[in-house]
Amino acid sequence: MTCPHLEYRDESDGTRFDEARAYCTAADRFVQPMRADVCNDRYDHAHDRHCEIYLEHADSDGAGRSDDEAVNAGAGSGGRTESEVDDGGER
């Protein structure tokens, strides 16, 4: 089972791709490729255990937090911060 917040899109906010890419509808952002493994539950990944944004979103549903708060609370499956980019590659 893939994440219910996962969609494949080729355009968002002026960013367009030739091939549709993973998009997190909870975070309203394209997903980093390694995180797409989590969205798709590939290998030993599971979105409901390993995705920060899914967990935050589930928390917000249960605890009354807004989606915006959940999105802003963490990087999430679609999020990207400069420090995460600095976290570098797979090696």
51: contact with other proteins by CB under 8 A: yes
9: contact with other proteins by CB under 8 A: no
Task: Select 52 or 67, whichever has its Cβ closest to other proteins.
Answer: 52
Exactly one of 44, 62, 63, 64 binds other proteins (CB under 8 A); that residue is 44
Task: Select 49 or 69, whichever has its Cβ closest to other proteins.
Answer: 49
Map residue 82 onto helix, strand or coil: helix
Task: Select 5 or 35, whichever has its Cβ closest to other proteins.
Answer: 35
Exactly one of 1, 14, 19, 63 binds other proteins (CB under 8 A); that residue is 19
82: contact with other proteins by CB under 8 A: yes
- H/E element, 83: helix 82-86
Exactly one of 7, 28, 37, 67 binds other proteins (CB under 8 A); that residue is 37
What is the full DSSP assignment across 24-73?
ETTTTEEPPHHHHHHHTT-TT--HHHH-HHHHHHHHHHHH---HHHHHHH
CA–CA dist 63, 18 (Å, integer): 39
Tokens of 46: 């599971």
